[in-house]
Structure 1
Amino acid sequence: MKATAIIPARYGSTRFLGKPLALINGTPMIQHVCQRVAKAEMVDQVIVATDDVRIVAAVEGFGGQVMLTETDHPTGTDRLAEVAANLDSELIVNVQGDEPLIDPRMVDQAIAPLLKDGRILMGTLAGKIDRLEDFYSSDVVKVVKGQDGMALYFSRAPIPCPRDLNSGQLADELPRLGLLRHIGLYVYRRELLLDYPSWPKTPLESLENLEQLRALERGIRLYVAETEFSCHGVDTPADLERVSSLMSAEINN
């Protein structure tokens, strides 16, 4: 079963203009992402989806594959679907273009469940929460899943709620509780992805401002694979400096 990884990359980020082309140790961030994703064993093809010719030129410059898309897509999923419409891959992987330290094994971990079980239409990743401030932060999306691995709910709120633990007790119990933070890497069966943009926004999606709730509210089976690897996304120039340091340390080790 063929899997294509698509990396949406917008030039006009409100918090960090031109972010995909920002240099990390002399190399554009989008190049770091492409090269790491290409090392995933279950990925057959990597394509950058962008709305800007400057990113097209950069990707072509390092020998990557890129597609220029429409400029008015409301979400990255819509941009993804435009590219997927021209592919014959059964599985489409959405990898964020601001994750230059992504481990290729994370991509494989997200893909594997859909290869094993044809009933799973969509997949994603989650990692253990190990800091109390992350559990309470609305910037960290939490996920709760059932015993079958399927997502029950995503929220910016601290879920599930440990009713009988105060904050001090909760901090001590975090490793045992196995609370999960969502990692925004998705795998779609192509037919589902092509339908996705036509679905209207759902009430919970609008309330939480979490697009993945659109799938849950429509009854889509969304498998949550757990990973031991962590992500270091770049949202601001300060994040870029932090990732540059981490990458330098990784090279030196």
Structure 2
Amino acid sequence: MKTIAMIPARYAASRFPAKLMQNLAGKTVILRTYESTIATKLFSEVYVVTDSDIIYDEIISHGGKAIMSKKEHKSGSDRIAEAVANVDCDIVVNVQGDEPFTERESLEKVLEVFKGDADKNIDLASLMVEIKDWEEINNPNTVKVIVDQNDFALYFSRSPIPFPRDKSVDSKYFKHKGIYAFRKQALLDFTVLPMQFLEATEKIECIRYLEYGKRIKMVETNVQGIEIDTPEDLERAKRLWK
């Protein structure tokens, strides 16, 4: 089973423009993410896929591998689907460019899902981590996920799910971490499936897979890490890196 990693990397970002080129302990965020992914030693190849000459040059100048997108894309899945269309591989792992704390343990858990799925019933696998802080649970920048009894995703939302109407119920809340592992065909299917209203409303691309009946296996991890969405996140990342 040949596994590769793709890191979609846009230069523009609505909440934090040029965030991937910000300095994190002497290196850019995108370079830190690329090097962390390489360091897991789980992949045959690791590529950064970008629409930006600046990001492309950053990776290439440090001896890395990068692919220029041929066109603008609405999502990271669309961007890496273009890049892998002619690449020989079975599993594609999408590592978000703003995840410099990417580490081996969590990625291994995601990849293990496919080793036990001989009938290929699982289209995607992804990570979730339990959160208990109510500020984070209510933060729309934190995507939450609910799962069934077998840990298949039922829904993703920026709202708190489940809604705690009955405070006596011991509800758990899980944050969706932006790392996906796809069967290559599921990723290619995504690009030809039109966006529906749930995805358009929430602005969460993995909802599209659920709307079209794809099965997403969620794997729990204890590794929080930091996704760099805001300048405040970057400052937290700098402190944690030290």
The answer, yes or no, to whether TM exceeds 0.5 is yes
Deviation at 1:161, TM superposition (A): 2.8
Q: Deviations over 1:185-238 (max 9, x none)?
A: 111111111121110011221222221111111111110011110120112333
Q: Is the 8 A contact 1:37 1:107 kept in 2?
A: no
Confirm or deny: 8 A CA contact 1:129 1:181 kept in the other structure: yes
The one-letter code sitting in structure 1 at the alignment partner of 2:188 is L
Q: Could you say which residue in structure 1 is the equivalent of 2:191?
A: 197
- CA distance 1:138–1:53, change in 2 (3 Å): closer
1: CA distance, partners of 2:137 / 2:22: 30
Structure 1 residue identity aligned to 2:107: V
1:216 aligned residue (196, 210, 213): 210
Matches within 5 A, 1:118-129: 118-129=120-131
Q: Structure 2 matches for 1:164-183, cutoff 5 A?
A: 164-165=166-167, 177-183=171-177
Q: CA–CA distance in 1 between the matches of 2:16 and 2:71?
A: 18
Distance 1:242 1:212, change over 3 A: same
Distance 1:162 1:26 in 2: 43
Structure 2 partner of 1:19: 19
User: Does the 8 A contact of 2:42 with 2:104 survive in 1?
Assistant: no
Q: Name the counterpart of 2:150.
A: 148
1:111 is matched with 111
Distance in 2 (alpha carbons) for counterparts of 1:146 and 1:105:
24
Cα distance change, pair 15–179 in 1 and its aligned pair in 2 (3 A): closer
Say whether the 8 Å CA contact 1:91–1:190 is kept in structure 2.
Answer: yes
Normalised by the length of structure 2, the TM-score is: 0.93
Q: Which runs of 4+ in 1 moved over 4 A?
A: none
- Let me know the Cα RMSD of the aligned residues: 1.7
Which structure would you say has the larger Rg?
1
Indicate how the Cα distance of structure 1 residues 137 and 55 shifts in structure 2: closer, same or farther if over 3 A, else same. closer
Match of 1:251 in 2: none
Q: 1:230 — aligned with what?
A: 224
Shift of 1:41: 4.5
Moved more, 9-18 or 97-106: 9-18
Instruction: Tell me what 1:38 maps to.
Output: 38
Q: Following TM superposition, by how much is the alpha carbon of 1:81 offset from its aligned partner in structure 2, in angstroms?
A: 0.4
Unaligned runs of 5+ in 1: 249-253
Q: Give, in whole Å, the separation in 2 of the partners of 1:138 and 1:207.
A: 12
Count matched residues: 240
